[in-house]
Structure 1
Amino acid sequence: MKQRLLDDVTIIDLGQIYNGPYCSLLLSYLGADVTKIEPPSGEPLRGRVDDGEAPEFVMLNSNKKGVTLNLKSEEGKEIFKDLVEDADVLVENYSVGTMDGLGLGYEVLSELNPELIYAHGSGFGEEGPYNRYPAMDLTIQAISGIMDVTGFPDGPPVKTGIAVGDFMGGIHLVAGILGALYERERTGEGQFVEASMHDSVFPTLMSPLGAYFSDDDVPSRTGNRHSGLAHSPYNVYETADGHVAIFGVSTDHWHSLLEVVGREDLKDDPRFETNVKRANRLDEVDEIVESWTAERSRKEVERTLLEAGVPFGPVKELEEVVNDPHLKERQMINEIEHPSFGEISVPGSPIRLSNSELPDIEPSPEKGRDNEEVYCSQLGYSRDELERLEEENVI
């Protein structure tokens, strides 16, 4: 088996909910040895179910060891320091100031381990007027402008259906960690790495920002149309049994679409000869397209547009997505048997490297599953000491 990118990198993971755990999940898929630390009661994501394992926890914590540790106890803090002394990276996404309040902030830990890369996933960053705001994905979407640009013009602001802040923040934190690891190879020194959810989602507003700076008349919410109303056709169109998204990037696409819908007479029509002119006639363009799609099945529309070379995408329901043959072939959907949850599909790695094989997926750890391995084999505690730590709620 080929060596993976981070095979010699050890990571301590204090991640919780989505942001930190996704960051460390990607690092584990790149080969890093990740030890997830939870409080004895378990990380908050486990609390989404009364019994067994929360599916989100199972999906985000594959390929990690799992231990429990009470960082509010003095002995727990000392054990944590012992673990950090030999680690390459620490990942955490607690609120700003939480780790400093525990006496386990970057300044303290970097004294113990100058090579440590301390990675903090935050909501709004270490500094700035919002740095103490409570940060959950919904609040990030609200304050970042994402909700303002999501929905239809005549409706209220709407959140996206995905946790865009959590995952965008986690991805950017991975990039920062990899950059810090690269620099450490040259300098021998670790550093503090931060990626905030708020900063990470700001660039995703590119189209609405373009509209804001160029046209005061464009509404902030444009439904399924282009955020700046700058492209046409660009919408979700009804079919006889579903919906399909169609986007005519160029005039060539528009002409191909006209051939498909039987309106070649419009190819030389000056009202539609450029994208700008088509964008000024959104309703007319949409009517031309949907009058054709509405009479055909989604499959027929897909097949026809694929042959014509027109950009499109069937609007798939969640049930279709979890059984998507493309995602399965790409190993983004991996069916595993979890000892507590049972059969479940978990995500694979979107990152592909020609010199590394994709990892085998190991089930997420049950709470405290690897306490004995980590504390006894790695730190040298006896089984009697391990029992005492459990009884005293240290682990």
Structure 2
Amino acid sequence: MPSNTPLAGVKVIDLTRVYSGPYCAFLMAQAGAEVIKVEPTDGESVRKRHATGGAALPFAFLNANKRSVTCDFKTPEGLAMMERLIADADVLIENFRPGVLDRLGLGAERLSQINPQLIVARNSGYGQTGPYRDYLAMDLTVQAAVGIIDSTGFPGETPVKAGPAMTDFVAGTHLYGAIVTALWHRDRTGEILSPDISMMDTNLPTLMSNLAAAWANRDDPTFEARTGSRHGGMSLAPYNVYPAADGYVAIIAVAEHHWHATARALKREDMLTDPRFENLKTRCANMDAFDAELGRTTAQHTRDDLRHLLSDNGAICAPVMKLTEVLRDPHLHDRGLLHHVDHPEYGRMVLMQTPMRYAGVDPVSYLPSRRLGEDNDDILQGLGYSADDIAALRSKGVI
């Protein structure tokens, strides 16, 4: 990586799988760190999904700019190989169930012996402590456990999960922040911090408005957490998805002047003087009538017209875009977040760069995800293994 990248010179061993940990390691790679992804000899689970259309995209995205090695470190030879990899690394990232690395011979004490400067960053569903720590967890079940599913959907209907794998990516972003914080602290003080990032912990703050409503109604057994597309605390109006002539738009008024701008742009000044809608309190008290009236007006305009009409006049609005439209979004392509890639293994794809941008600094060059174990020989030679040693590891199924 270029020497002027933010994390140039940082070496990361990535033992993570699926989305959360790999996303953290991807962000580190895109910030200039050397990231070595270590997979089982048959590859991690997301790599194996490419049998169906489009399923290879997550692996290609999450593992760009990383090197790939395979290792069965349940074997003595594989464990020795891992110890050599770790010996000069700055960071080890893992998202196994708590205790797995200990059982494999890479517990905290042993890792400290191998490399006293190593930051061991752990990402799990419920954290390294607490009564849930040993439970298996994935995005869906964490959404259930933390209250996201209970707060998603419409009142009186079956709760549903949030559309995106949000708990994975929120946790992965927090993991990145924790690791960079630990690196800064190590370099400043010499003390080694060990991040313990829980998917449940990191996603609770996303429910802030919903939690406020739950707290206010904590003694009401009939409290309904689901508000559809309305504000989680039912304390803002407009705040909803409204019909357009060709789909839907989202409109929100955080402050009163946003609502006034919306009404004037839509030539609905009459709603400003309607006693049911004249202030935030009355609008919230008459939310059904308010949304219906506003929706009758928005339905007369296209999404694009509403975006410009409202946004250009100080209101807050965005069209509800289909995901197939988002893949072609000119703004995301102009910023370089989305870009077309001719992937050597998966073909033509639209993939993402890092969302972390710094004024005046270009993102690092994109390097496609590697084939399984593509860097085995190169990395092992760098660790002092001879060609015969590498052949022996391969013949034993260690790599």
Task: Tell me the CA shift for residue 211 of structure 1.
Answer: 1.0
Matched to 1:379, the amino acid is L
Q: Which residue of 1 aligns with 2:111?
A: 109
- Partners of 1:274 and 1:246 in 2: CA distance: 17
Change (3 A) 1:393 1:51: farther
Q: 1:349 and 2:354 equivalent?
A: yes
Q: In the comparison of the two structures, how many residue pairs are matched?
A: 394
Paired residues of 2:306 and 2:317 also in contact (CA < 8 A)? no
Q: Which residue of 2 aligns with 1:84?
A: 86
Spell out the pairing of 1:310-389 with structure 2 (5 A cutoff).
310-354=315-359, 356-376=361-381, 378-389=382-393
Paired residues of 1:211 and 1:218 also in contact (CA < 8 A)? no
- Partners of 2:190 and 2:394 in 1: CA distance: 37
Task: Tell me the CA shift for residue 302 of structure 1.
Answer: 1.7
What fraction of aligned residue pairs are identical, expressed as a percent?
43
- Partners of 2:345 and 2:130 in 1: CA distance: 43
User: TM-score, normalised on structure 2?
Assistant: 0.95
Q: Which residue of 2 aligns with 1:244?
A: 249
Q: Which runs of 5+ in 1 are unaligned?
A: none
Spell out the pairing of 1:148-159 with structure 2 (5 A cutoff).
148-159=150-161
Q: Which residue of 2 aligns with 1:26?
A: 27
Moved over 6 A (4+): none
Matched to 1:340, the amino acid is E
- SS, match of residue 374 in structure 2: coil
Task: Tell me the CA shift for residue 268 of structure 1.
Answer: 3.1
Q: Which residue of 2 aligns with 1:234?
A: 239
Q: Which residue of 2 aligns with 1:271?
A: 276
Change (3 A) 1:275 1:213: same
Change (3 A) 1:2 1:293: farther
Structure 1 stretch displaced more, 301-310 or 212-221: 212-221
- SS, match of residue 157 in structure 1: coil
Matched to 1:370, the amino acid is D
Task: Tell me the CA shift for residue 210 of structure 1.
Answer: 1.0
Task: Tell me the CA shift for residue 237 of structure 1.
Answer: 0.8
- Partners of 2:267 and 2:89 in 1: CA distance: 64
Change (3 A) 1:274 1:214: farther
Paired residues of 1:59 and 1:345 also in contact (CA < 8 A)? no
Spell out the pairing of 1:66-85 with structure 2 (5 A cutoff).
66-85=68-87
Q: Which residue of 1 aligns with 2:165?
A: 163
- Partners of 2:215 and 2:137 in 1: CA distance: 28
Paired residues of 1:169 and 1:196 also in contact (CA < 8 A)? yes
What are the Cα deviations for residues 237-284 of structure 1, in whole angstroms up to 9, with x where unaligned?
A: 111111000112222222222223333133233432221221111111
- Partners of 1:197 and 1:167 in 2: CA distance: 9
Which of 147, 150, 166 is the matching residue for 1:145? 147
User: TM-score, normalised on structure 1?
Assistant: 0.96
- Partners of 2:76 and 2:56 in 1: CA distance: 30
- Partners of 2:358 and 2:266 in 1: CA distance: 42
Please report the RMSD computed on the Cα atoms of aligned residues, expressed in angstroms: 1.7
- SS, match of residue 312 in structure 2: helix
Q: Which residue of 2 aligns with 1:8?
A: 9
Change (3 A) 1:129 1:178: same
Paired residues of 1:244 and 1:312 also in contact (CA < 8 A)? yes
Q: Which runs of 5+ in 2 are unaligned?
A: none
- Partners of 1:307 and 1:41 in 2: CA distance: 54
Task: Tell me the CA shift for residue 188 of structure 1.
Answer: 2.6
What are the Cα deviations for residues 84-137 of structure 1, in whole angstroms up to 9, with x where unaligned?
A: 011000011111111111011222111111100001111101111110111100
Task: Tell me the CA shift for residue 51 of structure 1.
Answer: 8.3
Q: Which residue of 2 aligns with 1:46?
A: 47
Matched to 2:321, the amino acid is K
Q: Which residue of 1 aligns with 2:137?
A: 135
- Partners of 2:100 and 2:272 in 1: CA distance: 62
